[in-house]
């Protein structure tokens, strides 16, 4: 049985919610982690090379990074329809959003939160305004990032705005979408 290493009140919460929504046969193993406030400690029982969460172990497969784990799980549990499979309409957009979150959204939001700004960041990642516009554009057309279909990409990309509400932009397309995501997840995990 796959094991998901998790620490409550961390980035792994979204993956635990996804596993529940998928009806995934996954053991959840709680571990301690270093926290941003200096509390916590790395858990020697956590097999993640950096002692972070989430981390999924499925036999010889070790999967880290939320987007990768979410893709792995949605592909493994297609009956929940929380991620398009290869060949399905929307697969490219789904892969793009999972990667865009990890490669652009989260880094830009962390850098903003920490007060770091530099021309090299903008040259490499773009700027926050452009990132938010990329996010808002599909939400003006449909209720979800993939149009009419709620997916794990919505869960992942909305998650920082649920944790750091002060970072939620004034754009109603994004604000309303974050609210829809919260309600959708609550309805599917109740």
Task: For the chain, give every domain's residue range.
Answer: 3-80, 91-189
Given a cut of 90, whether residue 136 has pLDDT beyond it is: yes
Superfamily of domain 3-80: Glutaredoxin (3.40.30.10)
The correct CATH number of 91-189 out of 1.10.3470, 1.20.1050, 3.30.700, 1.10.390 is: 1.20.1050
pTM across the whole model: 0.95
Confidence at 81, pLDDT banded by 50, 70, 90: very high
* 117 touches 111 (CB < 8 A): yes
DSSP 53: S
Interstrand relation of 3-6 and 27-30 (parallel, antiparallel or unpaired): parallel
**What's the pLDDT at 190?**
75
**What's the pLDDT at 127?**
93
Digit-coded pLDDT (tens) for 145-171: 999 999 999 999 999 999 888 889 999
Digit-coded pLDDT (tens) for 91-105: 999 999 999 999 999
Residue percentage of the chain with pLDDT more than 90: 91
Phi first, then psi, for residue 142 (nearest 5°) are -145, 170
State the Cα–Cα distance between residues 105 and 125, nearest whole angstrom.
Answer: 9
Given a cut of 90, whether residue 62 has pLDDT beyond it is: yes
Digit-coded pLDDT (tens) for 166-186: 889 999 999 999 999 999 999
Q: What angle do CA 42, 45, 46 make, to 5 degrees?
A: 60
């Amino acid at each position: 049985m796959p094991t998901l290493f998790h620490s409550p009140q961390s980035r792994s919460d979204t993956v635990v919610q996804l596993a529940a929504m998928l009806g995934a046969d996954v053991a959840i193993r709680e571990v301690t982690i270093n926290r941003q406030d200096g509390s916590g400690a790395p858990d020697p029982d956590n097999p993640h090379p950096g002692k972070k969460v989430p981390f999924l172990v499925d036999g010889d497969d070790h999967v880290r990074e939320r987007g990768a784990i979410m893709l792995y799980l949605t592909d493994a549990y297609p009956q929940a329809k929380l991620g398009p499979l290869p060949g399905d309409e929307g697969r490219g957009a789904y892969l793009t959003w999972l990667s865009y979150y990890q490669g652009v959204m989260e880094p830009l939001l962390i850098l903003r939160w920490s007060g770091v700004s530099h021309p090299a960041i903008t040259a490499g990642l773009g700027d926050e305004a452009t990132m938010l516009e990329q996010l808002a554009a599909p939400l003006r057309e449909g209720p979800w990032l993939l149009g009419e279909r709620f997916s794990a990409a919505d869960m992942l990309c909305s998650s920082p705005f649920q944790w750091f509400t002060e970072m939620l932009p004034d754009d109603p397309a994004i604000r309303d979408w974050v609210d829809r995501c919260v309600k959708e997840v609550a309805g599917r995990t109740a």
